[in-house]
Structure 1
Amino acid sequence: MEKHVNSEELVKLQIKFGGQTIPLSMNLNSTIADLKLLLKSSTNVLPRGQKLIHKGNVLEDSKTLKASNITNGSKIMLMASQGLHQGEGPKIKNAPVVSNYQKIVEKINKDKVKFGAPVAVNKTRIERWKIIGVIGLSESQLKAIPDEVWDCGSSARVLDLSKNSISEISVKISCMKNLQKLILNANDISDDSISWQGLNELKGLTYLCLSQNCLTNLPAALGALTSLEQLLVAGNKLESLPIEFGQLTKLQILKVNNNRISTLPSCIGDCSALIEVDISSNLLVELPETFGNLQNLKALHLSNNGLKSLPSTLFKKCVKLSTLDLHETEITMDMLREVEGWEEFDERRRLKYQKQLDFRAGGSAAFDEGADKN
């Protein structure tokens, strides 16, 4: 016979979900709706997406645990409706009340992360990754990529490993042949720890983010990623771009700011699809004349460089250019006025910022995007 528990006592429950058990404690006067709300933080499943079953009966939100015949030690099954979740989807994590054994297991798992051992990934999450094609492991304290990630293979479309401590991207990345978006910013990736041979198998890759890592060089193999539309490598220690960079003819967004680049290859002019280029905070003293070939260019960020001039055809040929940031360069207003096509560029800039200019006292329309006016 079960021990009687009055309404003022806590009862210990065992919630069965995703092949695991979530232990927690609640007052018998709490409602099933209260229980679902508590489970939301433990599972990521929204209350309206939860179905709780006890002894074959679906529990009603309005009833208390006591009225639902819940007793100490009761086992309740949680079924989650697909799509009714928050964050990265259904997850399993320990509820507030856990056993000493569970605390030991949790510490072991944390130590695995700390010392770089492979991290086990919940089976339910792997299945979800395969279904939706999105693998989200940002800020997961990883030092290595879990093997379960590679198990997703060609079903993966997006892989987000940002803000971890990952130091190696192995050739195994080649198994993700349908990957479109690869996010690796804010890790510990260096020149020798990333397999460009593996990356070159990702023929459909359109977005690659390697910002805030430890790269000093981009290899010639970069040119093989001909489907790239966005390349973000800001905040590294890059000194140059490879000649093969010109093969990226579909590239629209290039961000290489906050590096140590002193020269750009003339082949950058072959990247005719470029819309926005950010080369600010580098060591540039000039730009190649081929910049004038970028006829789709709309925004060019050049601040904090040693530039003393601009390509002679920049304003004349780049007929869509309307944003130009020259803060902390040696280019003056007098220099800009001498560049052919300046008037047309200035008109485009005025039109773009018309609302801001109209708002200013006196209606000043002077060029104020960084050129030295003195």
Structure 2
Amino acid sequence: MEVAGDKSSPDSSTITVHVKFSGRTLPISLSPDSTVRDLKSLLQPLTNVIPRGQKLISKGKVLADSSSLKSQQVTDGSKVMLIASQGLHQGDGPITKEVTSSSTNTRRTFNGKQSQIHKTETVLNRNRCDRWKSTGVVALSECQLKEVPDEVWACGSSVRVLDLGNNFIQEVSIKISALKSLNKLFLNANDILDGKISWESLSSLKSLTVLSLNQNQLTAFPSTLGTLTSLCQLHIANNKLTSLPEEIGLLKQLQILNASNNRITSLPSSIGNCQSLIEIDLSSNLLAELPETFGNLHNLKALHLRNNGLKSLPSTLFKMCSQLSTLDLHGTEITNDVLRQVEGWEEFDERRRSKHQKQLDFRVGSGVFDEGADDGRGL
């Protein structure tokens, strides 16, 4: 078994790969020892294309899922092209540059009359508003937006899902409080800075269960985060966060926390109060230790700690977190010898092996070999 976090393991410094997709360039930071499959997993929430539908090409060569980036000569600054297969996507699927261009050209074919263009756009906007109100879903990802259209706020309490990912939005205004029934808010890959989010208005959205702010420019979260008590998923990866507020402990319903690729140096002990947590990803931060209260997370199944400065784990982690079966410690100083000294190691190791065997059996029985399986990286 590969030793997780052994000092003799390959270089685990972070590189940035520039992935070109649908007329945009997506910078992705990860270890050179990560596999192509890892890169595809990071691209899924940014592109809506599932890993099985992604074809990655570098220097004219298709990258193999199981190969490491280093072995494929993908280094810091490398450019990779993503080609998406039709039908293998989430939601409305990727919005291509050609679709935007085609719709624009269509609007400009009405005898070249500016008044007719304005009339057509008004009709389109009205139809779009009606559709948003009837479905409750506002899908505006990859629309080159610099601000949220006013028609969105006009939909009010009809909106349940708002996807504004992969745009150039810099501000989340006070107007967001009009979306009182909002369940899911996606603001991935924008240009949002500290002070540009009306946290007071955001905290009024008491039905919010999913908040995604991956890949922005945030350095801190205010205490008002603790008022979003219905939150089940919090995605804040690829920002510049240095800490999490003590009030995170008030999120009793939180099941998934992804705060990877930030600059977090320590965690509040109150995180132990988030006892609904099932999965935590704190990879690629600056953590030197974890609070002992991690042992209170009895429902925790997966803990990702890759690329941190950790030398030990909370003493009660294995004993108290009796459902934990996935633990990624690559790029840390924690070796298997250290792990074997932690109480409850044998039981955890048995759960890990059992899970791995079930995944192998599933892959063999179903013929699915590219998704959802433990490939031996980490524990």
What TM-score bracket applies, with the shorter chain setting the length?
A: 0.5 to 0.7
What's 2:190 paired with? 187
Q: Does 1:226 align with 2:229?
A: yes
- After superposition, give the CA deviation of every residue in 1:66-97 in whole Å (9 maximum; x if it has no partner): xxxxxxxxxxxxxxxxxxxx879xx9654499
Q: CA deviation at 1:121?
A: 6.2
Q: 1:121 to 1:329 in 2, by over 3 A?
A: farther
Mapping 1:1-16, distance limit 5 Å: none
CA distance in 2, matches of 1:204, 1:101: 46
TM-score by length of 1: 0.67
Give the secondary-structure state (helix, strand or coil) at the position aligned to 1:191: coil
Residue 251 of structure 2 is aligned to residue 248 of structure 1: yes
- Residue 318 of structure 1 pairs with residue 321 of structure 2: yes
Could you say if the C-alpha distance between residues 357 and 145 of structure 1 is closer, same or farther in structure 2, counting changes exceeding 3 Å? closer
CA contact (8 A) 1:126 1:152 kept: yes
Q: Give matches, 1:1-374, under 5 Å.
A: 94-95=105-106, 98=109, 101=112, 122-355=125-358, 369-370=377-378
Which secondary structure state, in structure 1, belongs to the residue aligned with residue 327 of structure 2? strand
The question of whether the paired residues in 1 share the 8 Å contact of 2:273 and 2:296 is answered with yes
Structure-2 change in CA distance of 1:164 and 1:96 (3 Å): closer
8 Å contact kept, 1:286–1:307: yes
List runs of 5+ in structure 2 lacking aligned partners: 1-91, 95-99, 365-374
Tell me the SS of whatever aligns to 1:208: strand
TM norm structure 2: 0.66
Tell me the CA shift for residue 231 of structure 1. 0.1
Paired with 1:302 and 1:255, the residues of 2 have a C-alpha distance of 11
Question: Sequence identity of aligned pairs in percent?
Answer: 63
Answer whether contact 1:189 1:213 (CA < 8 A) is retained.
Answer: yes
Contact 1:121 1:146 in 2 (8 A): no
Q: Structure 1 residues 120, 229: closer, same or farther in 2, change over 3 A? A: farther
Letter in 2 for 1:129: W
Q: C-alpha displacement at 1:314, in angstroms? A: 0.3
SS of equivalent residue, structure 1 residue 338: coil
Deviation at 1:370, TM superposition (A): 3.9
CA distance in 2, matches of 1:120, 1:260: 47
Q: Is the CA contact (8 Å cut-off) linking 1:328 and 1:370 kept in structure 2?
A: no
Which residue is 2:40 aligned to? none
Partner of 2:67: none
Q: CA separation of 1:266/1:104 partners in 2, compared to 1, >3 Å: closer, same or farther? A: same
Partner of 2:45: none
Larger Rg: 1
Distance 1:121 1:145, change over 3 A: farther
Question: Contact between 1:329 and 1:370, CA under 8 Å: does it hold in 2?
Answer: no
Name the CA distance, whole Å, in 1 between partners of 2:148 and 2:123: 10
Distance 2:229 2:173 in 1: 21
Gap runs ≥5 in structure 1: 1-85, 109-118, 361-366
Measured in 2, the distance between the counterparts of 1:281 and 1:199 equals 28
For 1:68, the equivalent position in structure 2 comes to none
State the distance in 1 between where 2:146 and 2:115 align.
21
Q: Give a deviation string over 1:101-121, Cα, whole Å, max 9, x none.
A: 169998x9xxxxxxxxxx996
Task: Read off the aligned partner of 2:247 and give its amino acid letter.
Answer: E
Cα 1:357–1:334 shift into 2, 3 Å? farther
Higher RCO by CA contacts (8 Å cutoff, separation 6 or greater): 2
For 2:268 and 2:152, locate their aligned partners in 1 and report how far apart those are by CA, in whole Å: 36
CA distance in 2, matches of 1:120, 1:235: 38
SS at match of 2:162: strand
- 8 A contact 2:110–2:116 mirrored in 1: no
Alpha-carbon distance, 1:122 to partner: 1.4
CA distance in 1 between partners of 2:114 and 2:321 (Å): 62
3-state secondary structure, aligned to 1:290: helix
What is the aligned-residue RMSD (CA, Å)?
2.9
Alpha-carbon distance in structure 2 between the residues aligned to 1:281 and 1:239: 12
